[in-house]
Amino acid sequence: MESRIVEHPILDFPERTRVPFFWHGRELWGHEDEPIAAALHAAGIKVLHHSLKSGRPRGFFCAIGNCSSCLVVVDGVPNVRACTEKLRPGMRVERQDGVGPAPSLRR
């Protein structure tokens, strides 16, 4: 089933601008300004992070930036909360393993 809600008895979900972004190099489309996690979830991607010690899969949990379960690497910068960070066109998003890569000092 398509996971985007189109018709709802109470809520309206108006058309929003669709923007491309990259998940491990693969082009996906999401809605501008929605959280990265919403766009990934809609694309069927639930595993966002692997835990530090045992490497267990982690995903979205609290959705409001409290729990650190959804940390991803965005444009080379680790520890970005996928549930609160807004999707921007062309973003390169990757699953984070543990603490993730050290960000480059040269931007």
Partner 1 sequence: MIAVLIAELAVVGAGPAGVSGALEAASHGVRVALVDRGDRTGGQLLKQTHKFFGWHRKSAGTRGILIARQFEGEVRSDPNVTFLSGTEALGYYDDGVLLLESPGGIDRLHCDRLLVATGASERMLVFPGNDLPGVYGAGAVQTLMNVHGVRPGRSVLMIGSGNIGLIVSYQLAQAGVEVAAVVEALPAIGGYAVHASKIRRLGIPILTRHTIKEAYGKDQVEGAVIWELDGKWVGIPGTERDLDVDVVCLATGLTPLAEILWQAGAEIKYIPELGGFVPLYNQDMETTAKGVFVAGDVAGIEEASTAMAAGRLAGLCAARSLGKVADGEFKDLHESISTELAELRAGPTGEKILKGLAQIWSGTEVGA
Q: In angstroms, rounded to a whole number, what is the distance separating the alpha carbons of residues 33 and 103?
A: 24
Q: Which of 83, 91, 96, 100 binds partner 1 (CB under 8 A)?
A: 83
Contact flag: residue 99 with partner 1 (CB under 8 A)? no
User: What are the tokens at 20?
Assistant: 């491309």
Nearest Cα neighbor of 29 from 46, 7, 13, 45 is 45
Contact flag: residue 10 with partner 1 (CB under 8 A)? yes
Q: Given the rule CB under 8 A, which of 20-28, 39-47, 72-80, 99-107 is the region that contacts partner 1?
A: 39-47
Contact flag: residue 88 with partner 1 (CB under 8 A)? no
CA distances (Å), 89 to each of 3, 30, 47, 79, 96, in order?
21, 9, 22, 20, 20
Q: Which of 4, 18, 24, 92 binds partner 1 (CB under 8 A)?
A: 4
Write out the residues near partner 1 by the rule CB under 8 A.
1, 3-5, 8-11, 13, 34-35, 37-38, 41-42, 46-48, 51, 56-67, 69, 83-84
